[in-house]
Amino acid sequence: MSTDQPNPGAASAAPGSPPPLQPPGIKQTFRDGWRVIVELWWRFFDWLAVVSWKTLLVVYLLCLILAAMLHRPMTFFFFVIVSVIIKVVAGGKRRAELTARQATQRAEDEQLERRVLEARLQALQAQIEPHFLFNTLGSIDQLIQTDPPRASKMQQSLIRYLRSAMPQMREGARPTLGQQIDLCRAFLDIMAVRMEERLQTVINVPEGLKSAVFPSMMLQTLVENAIKHGLEPRATGGQITITAEIAGGQLTVHVLDNGVGFMPKGNEGVGLANIRERLKALYSGRAELIIGVPAAGGTCATIKVPYEIAPVTA
Partner 1 sequence: MRATPAPTAVIVDDERLMREQIAGRLKEAWPELVIVGEAGNGREAVAMVGSLEPDIVFLDINMPEMDGIKAAQALAGRAHLVFVTAYDQYAISAFDHGAIDYLLKPVEPARVALACRRLRERLQQKPAPMDELLEELSQRFGSSGVKPREYMRWVQASVGANLRMIPTSDILFFRAEDKYTRVQTEGFEALIRKPIKELIDELDPKEFWQIHRSTVVRVDAIAQVSRNFSGKQIVHLKGSDEKLEVSRSFNHLFKQM
Q: How far is the CB of 194 from partner 1 (least distance, A)?
A: 5
| Nearest CA-CA partner of 236 in 258, 216, 215 | 258
3-state secondary structure of 164: helix
CB closer to partner 1 out of 135 and 201: 135
Q: How far is the CB of 218 from partner 1 (least distance, A)?
A: 16
| Closer CB to partner 1, 49 or 222, in the complex | 222
Closest CA to 304 of 284, 282, 287: 287
d(CA 268, CA 246): 29
Closer to partner 1 by CB, 69 or 295: give it: 295
Q: What is the DSSP letter of 304?
A: E
DSSP 231-300: ITTSTT-EEEEEEEEEETTEEEEEEEE-SS---SS----SHHHHHHHHHHHHHTTS-EEEEE--TTSSEE
Task: Using CB under 8 A, list all residues that contact partner 1.
Answer: 130-131, 133-135, 137-139, 141-143, 145-146, 193-196, 232-235, 262-267, 272-273, 276, 288, 290-295, 299
Q: How near is the Cβ of 179 to partner 1 at its closest, in Å?
A: 28
- Among residues 253, 242, 246, the alpha carbon closest in space to that of 204 is found at 242
Nearest-approach distance from CB 128 to partner 1, in angstroms: 11
CA dist., res. 263 & res. 265, Å (int): 5
Q: How far is the CB of 287 from partner 1 (least distance, A)?
A: 12
The residue (of 141 and 245) whose beta carbon lies closer to partner 1 is: 141
| Rounded least distance, CB 237 to partner 1, Å | 8
Name residue 302's beta-bridge partners: 254, 290
Q: CB 137 → partner 1: shortest distance, Å? A: 5
Nearest in space to 302 (alpha carbons), one of 228, 201, 225, 194: 225
Q: Considering beta carbons, is residue 85 or 133 the nearer one to partner 1?
A: 133
Cβ proximity of 161 and 187 under 8 Å: yes
Contact between 242 and 253 (Cβ < 8 Å): yes
Q: Measured from the CB of residue 198, what is the shortest distance to partner 1 in angstroms?
A: 8
- 20 or 264: whose CB is closer to partner 1? 264
| 25 or 294: CB nearest partner 1 | 294
DSSP bridge pairs for 240: 201, 257
**Amino acid found at 29:** T
By beta-carbon proximity to partner 1, the closer residue of 102 and 142 is 142
> Rounded to 5 degrees, what are φ and ψ at 130?
-60, -35
Please provide residue 223's backbone torsions phi and psi, each rounded to the nearest 5 degrees: -65, -45
